[in-house]
């Protein structure tokens, strides 16, 4: 099983959209995928056709002392999904306490899964300094699962400045994925070139465009692969899937 951890450099960069649409593309390419949402916003499930009113998720199962893998849903195209679920604030505090005291719990349970080719995890924002926080140790344990970490960002001045100057991101070595690029924007074009130049050892060769069909697909509880298979976004996710398939063949 290969594991892809996706983390936005901040909120609003489309990390959940990337996670879900990549899973659909890899599934279409013949890989069995399982997507795990670690964010309490619980929005990744929308791309899997899960009723947004559903409260079921791995978080509640873990709090109840059950095997949280049993909280998985399967979409019509065969993808498996483990949503975070809908938890009250007090329940989220208790869940975080469990993960902090038993950071290996998630990774050990996931390692037992059979028949999964790609485990794709929608992570909260991870920065260099956050690795030292007790509440993030369970994320570090996920690297025992043959994992690659990819940080999603946009070709914007705030994202570039964040990675370049903020102390939280010093010595950050994850792979980088540009998302929500506007091809008609000269500013986006210029910032993409700057980011590719300054982070050339980390940046993936694929950049995802800002495409309205991605948002439309989510509104229909679908991925863009099923909603608009001929769209530019679908073609770009296919290229991203091929890139991710090769991450284990090329040393980074």
pLDDT at 143 > cutoff 60: yes
pLDDT at residue 252 greater than cutoff 60: no
Q: Which domains does the chain show, CATH number per domain? A: 2-150+180-185+212-245 (3.40.50.300)
Confidence of residue 51 (pLDDT cuts 50, 70, 90): confident
Residue 161, SS3 per DSSP: helix
Average pLDDT for residues 33-40, to the nearest whole number? 96
The answer on pLDDT for 244 being more than 80 is: yes
Of 241, 237, 239, 233, the closest CA to residue 209 belongs to 233
**Mean pLDDT (the chain, rounded):** 91
pLDDT for position 188: 93
What is the average per-residue pLDDT within 5-19? 94
Check whether 245 has a pLDDT greater than 80: yes
Can you give the chain as a three-state secondary structure string? CEEEEEEECCCCCCHHHHHHHHHHHHHHCCCCEEEEECCCCCCHHHHHCCCCCCCCCHHHHHHCCCCHHHHCEECCCCCEEECCCCCCHHHHHHHHHHHHHCCCHHHHHHHCCCCCCEEEEEECCCCCHHHHCHHHHHHHHHHHHCEEEEEEECCCHHHHHHHHHCHHHCCCCCEEEEEEECCCCHHHHHHHHHHHHHCCCCEEEEEEECCHHHHHHHHCCCCHHHHCCCCHHHHHHHHHHHHHHCCCCCCC
Integer Cα distance of 81 and 83 in angstroms:
6
Mean pLDDT within 110-134: 83
Per-residue confidence at 174, pLDDT binned at 50, 70, 90? Answer: confident
pLDDT at residue 128 greater than cutoff 70:
no
Residue 13 confidence (pLDDT) above 60: yes
Predicted confidence (pLDDT) at residue 49 exceeds the cutoff of 80:
yes
C-alpha–C-alpha distance, residues 243 and 247, integer Å: 7
Percent residues over pLDDT 90 in the chain: 73
Cα-atom radius of gyration of the chain, to the nearest Å? 17
Question: Would the pLDDT of 251 be above 70?
Answer: no
- What pTM was estimated for this model as a whole? 0.92
For the cut 70, the answer to whether the pLDDT of residue 133 exceeds it is no
pLDDT above 90 (res 52): no
CA separation for the pair 245, 111 (Å, rounded):
19
168-173 mean pLDDT: 75
Q: In what order do the strands lie in the sheet with 203-209?
A: 73-74, 80-82, 33-37, 118-123, 2-8, 147-153, 175-181, 203-209
Closest CA to 23 of 79, 98, 86, 71: 79
Q: For residue 249, what pLDDT band results from cuts at 50, 70 and 90?
A: confident
């Amino acid at each position: 099983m290969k594991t892809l951890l996706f983390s936005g450099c901040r909120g609003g960069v489309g990390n959940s959209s990337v996670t879900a649409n990549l899973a659909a593309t890899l599934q279409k390419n013949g890989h069995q995928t399982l997507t795990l949402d670690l964010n309490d916003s619980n929005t990744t499930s929308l791309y899997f056709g899960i009723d947004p009113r559903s409260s079921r998720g791995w978080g509640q199962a873990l709090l109840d002392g059950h095997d949280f893998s049993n909280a998985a849903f399967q979409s019509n195209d065969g993808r498996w999904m483990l949503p975070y679920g809908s938890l009250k604030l007090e329940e989220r505090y208790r869940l975080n306490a469990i993960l902090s005291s038993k950071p290996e719990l998630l990774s050990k349970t996931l390692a037992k899964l059979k028949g999964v080719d790609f485990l794709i995890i929608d992570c909260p924002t991870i920065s260099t300094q956050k690795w030292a926080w007790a509440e993030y140790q369970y994320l570090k344990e996920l690297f025992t699962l043959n994992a690659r970490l990819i940080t999603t960002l946009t070709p914007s001045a705030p994202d570039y400045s964040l990675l370049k100057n903020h102390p939280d991101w010093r010595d950050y070595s994850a792979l980088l994925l540009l998302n929500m690029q506007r091809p008609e924007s000269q500013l986006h074009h210029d910032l993409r070139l700057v980011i590719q130049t300054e982070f050339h050892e980390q940046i993936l060769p694929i950049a995802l465009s800002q495409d309205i069909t991605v948002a439309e697909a989510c509104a229909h509880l679908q991925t863009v692969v099923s909603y608009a298979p001929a769209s530019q976004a679908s073609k770009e996710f296919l290229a991203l899937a091929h890139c991710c398939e090769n991450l284990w063949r090329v040393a980074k």
